[in-house]
Amino acid sequence: MVYGVIGTGALGGFYGGRLAKSGQEVHFLLHSDYEYVKENGLQVDSCDGSFHLDKVNAYSSTTDMPKCDVVLVGLKTINNHLLTSLLPPLLRHNTVVVLIQNGIGVEDDVQKMFPDQPLVAGLAFICCSKTEPGRVNQQCYGSINFGNYSCKDEKTFHTVIDDFTHAGIQCAEVEYLEARWRKAVWNVPFNGMTVVLNTQTDLLLKHPSTRELIYTMMMEVITAARHLGVTGLDRSFADKMMEMTDNMTPYSPSMRLDFDRHRPMEINYIYLRPLQIAAEAGCPMPHVDALAKMLSYIGACND
């Protein structure tokens, strides 16, 4: 299959790079480091084995890219309004769009832009950042879950999973709604708390007060998910996420990196939409709501 990557940052660079290394045809849309990657290739520094792509199908505009069977979207959700112009040159009627993005409600909004396009959620569990032009650094983890939102072609959907597996990426199919809320269990407390308290993941868990608060917010997210009919999440998953983060390399999540670089933070889909959906289901999340309000204030001051 022919893959396209829109947003060759940390996630697009890592997953697209692994697919290309495994022999898949992958075409990358780049922005600030287009010229560098075109000339020098793409370097992926990985805890699972580093590699360099000497020849990269690099583009500065999607109008120059070929039609694709699958498009991986690695943009931050704050830039999703750009999809109305970025995506169409790559699409056939059956092109599968995989949204490797954070938050709740993403697919709902993108489907309104492209009513007939098959969409899949890609939920990455990875500590990864783009440290400099043409260089991606994967510190630890790297798995990805796929939730089928509107792809009726089961063969293509499972071929994507097979291609990722062949590329050495741990992946699995997860029921769509569960997949989105499963990712939120980690994203909601750690993204915002590292910004509000100007810290990293390890220090949040070392202090008893913040460790308790992290766990409380995880349970609020899990309770909201269960109110919405998600049965595969319970306290044991929160325990697993805490243990996983205890064993993780000290990490600054994407929202903390955006804040440090004075970029807009993904407050809408990570916080405001889940809070709205949970409230409509009769399940308020008071600690998450307080964190969202602090982030909204900090974000306004950081512009």
Q: What is the pLDDT of residue 48?
A: 85
Closest by CA to 221, choosing from 267, 268, 178, 174, is: 178
Single pTM value for the model: 0.95
Q: What is the pLDDT of residue 21?
A: 97
Which residues make beta-bridge pairs with 124? 144
Query: What would the pLDDT profile of 212-221 be if each residue is shown by its tens digit?
Result: 999 999 999 9
* 8 A C-beta contact, residue 295 and residue 271: yes
Could you tell me the CA-to-CA distances from 163 to 5, 134, 169, 212 in Å, in that order? 15, 23, 9, 40
C-alpha 4/C-alpha 11 separation (Å) is 13
Q: What is the pLDDT of residue 176?
A: 96
Query: What would the pLDDT profile of 168-226 be if each residue is shown by its tens digit?
Result: 999 999 999 999 999 999 999 999 999 999 999 999 999 999 999 999 999 999 999 99
- Catalytic site residue from 112, 183, 240, 293: 183
Residue 183 is among the residues annotated as catalytic for this protein: yes
Share of the chain above pLDDT 70, in %: 100
C-alpha 16/C-alpha 4 separation (Å) is 8
Tell me the mean pLDDT in the region 128-146. Answer: 92
Closest by CA to 240, choosing from 122, 125, 123, 137, is: 125
Q: Would you place residue 1 in the very low, low, confident or very high pLDDT band (cuts 50, 70, 90)?
A: very high
C-alpha 106/C-alpha 38 separation (Å) is 31
Q: Where are the domains positioned within the chain?
A: 2-174, 178-302
**Homologous superfamily of the 178-302 domain (CATH):** N-(1-d-carboxylethyl)-l-norvaline Dehydrogenase; domain 2 (1.10.1040.10)
* Torsion sign (Cα): 273, 279, 280, 283: positive
Q: What is the mean pLDDT of the chain?
A: 96
Q: Would you place residue 143 in the very low, low, confident or very high pLDDT band (cuts 50, 70, 90)?
A: very high
Q: 193-216 as b/e, with b when 16 or more CB fall inside 10 Å? A: bbbbeebbbeebbeeeebeebbbe
Q: What is the pLDDT of residue 140?
A: 86
Check residues 131 and 202 and name the one with the higher pLDDT: 202
Q: Would you place residue 302 in the very low, low, confident or very high pLDDT band (cuts 50, 70, 90)?
A: confident
Q: What is the pLDDT of residue 47?
A: 87
Q: What is the pLDDT of residue 204?
A: 97
In this predicted structure, the answer to whether residue 303 has a pLDDT above a threshold of 80 is no
Fold classified for 2-174: Rossmann fold (3.40.50)
Q: What is the pLDDT of residue 113?
A: 98
Could you tell me the CA-to-CA distances from 10 to 6, 30, 75, 251 in Å, in that order? 12, 12, 10, 14
In this predicted structure, the answer to whether residue 282 has a pLDDT above a threshold of 90 is yes
Query: What would the pLDDT profile of 287-298 be if each residue is shown by its tens digit?
Result: 999 999 999 999
Contacts of 147 (CB under 8 A, 6+ apart): 120, 121, 123, 173, 174, 175, 176, 177, 178, 179, 180
